[in-house]
Structures are given as C-alpha cells and as structure tokens.
Amino acid sequence: MDSKGRLCAIPGCDEPGEFRAPPAEGAGGASDGPGAYRWLCLDHVRAFNSGYNYFAGMTAEEIHDAQRPFSGWQRETRAFASTGGADRPPRWADFDDPLDAIGARFKDRMANMEQRGERKDGRPLSPQDRSALKTLGLDKDADRHALRKRYSELVRRFHPDRNGGDRSHEARLQQVISAYQQLKSAPAFI
C-alpha cells in the first residue's frame, strides 16, 4: 500500500485511499478549520465526482446568482494608492516597532527623496517643472491651490492694466504665464 496504509473508505473496497472527498453525510464539523473528509480510491472518487451537484439544494434564484459571470466579485475592494511608485511610510497610530526595523527603512527612503530634491508626496518633477517653480517663486512641494494663488498674485503685479499701462514688466509676465502653463498640466499638480 503506497498511500500510508489508508484503505478506501467505501465498505468492502480493498484499494488504497489516495484521494480526499467530503464525508457522505455532509461537511458538518466546526467552521473554524478544515472540514472532515474521507479517503477514496480512484474508482470511488470518480464515482463520487460524477454524482456531485454543486447546485443541489439551491433555489432557482440562488443558482442564477451563482452562475453570473461576475459572481463573487460584488464585494468592495480597496483602491490602490497612487504614490508615483514609491512606498509611503505606515500610518498606523498604534503600530509598535521597538527595534525601528520598518521605520528606519522609510526614514532612509524619505531622506534620500529629500536629497534628490523629490516632492514629499512622491509625484515626479521634470527639469522644466523645477524651472517653472523657480520662476513662480514656489517650493517644490507646493500644491495646486498654492500654484493658482501665486499665479494670480504675479499676474496682478506684472499686468500692464494694473501698472497704469507700463509695459516694462511684459517679458516677466510672459515668463509667469509660460511657467503656469507648464505646471498646471504637470503630473505633480494634477
């Protein structure tokens, strides 16, 4: 016997019991672990499988619901965060890391981001974006609201209509407008 001494669970069968099957009287047992099962030989497990009916005991409506193409997918799933590919530090208030094994990794990663001049939110900045931020006098971590506010301030300051028709600031106004156009469609400000 090559199945660790188990015989088929069907009375009168002397074949080795190599295949698991649910008990004849139903699964029963506790719901906190694997249910009971019995060992069957190849012929008897084939007979069991051919007579198995998943839908036995179900109403027509339950059968219809179980046969829908997306059955089981109606549970809500959590959305994936868009962090620009970078892992963000954990935000668990009650998280305990006495050896700082996990926290040290994130502190190092955040320090590296700061050294490379990356934004705290992990969104990418191109060299053109950095130049535009410098033109507008904004920090690299500025958000869309700060961008709009600063743009409005600079347009009011440099527009000829606000300066009694003085066109001496027109070149600076064009730089401000160009910088704003660059940043408003940049991934960091979307």
Q: Spell out the domains of the chain, with CATH numbers in brackets.
A: 1-71 (no CATH), 127-189 (1.10.287)
Secondary structure of the chain in the HEC alphabet? CCCCCCECCCCCCCCECCEEECCCCCCCCCCCCCCCCEEECHHHHHHHHHCCCCCCCCCHHHHHHHHCCCCCCCCCCCCCCCCCCCCCCCCCCCCCCCCCCCHHHHHHHHHHHHHCCCCCCCCCCCHHHHHHHHHHCCCCCCCHHHHHHHHHHHHHHHCHHHHCCCCCCHHHHHHHHHHHHHHHCCHHHC
Express as a percent the part of the chain with pLDDT over 70. 72
Tens-digit pLDDT profile for residues 3-34: 567 899 999 999 999 998 888 765 555 556 66
State yes or no: pLDDT of 164 exceeds 90: no
pLDDT higher at 81 or 171: 171
Average pLDDT over residues 117-143: 85
Tens-digit pLDDT profile for residues 23-69: 876 555 555 666 688 899 999 999 998 888 888 888 998 888 777 76
State yes or no: pLDDT of 179 exceeds 60: yes
Name the pTM for this structure.
Answer: 0.42
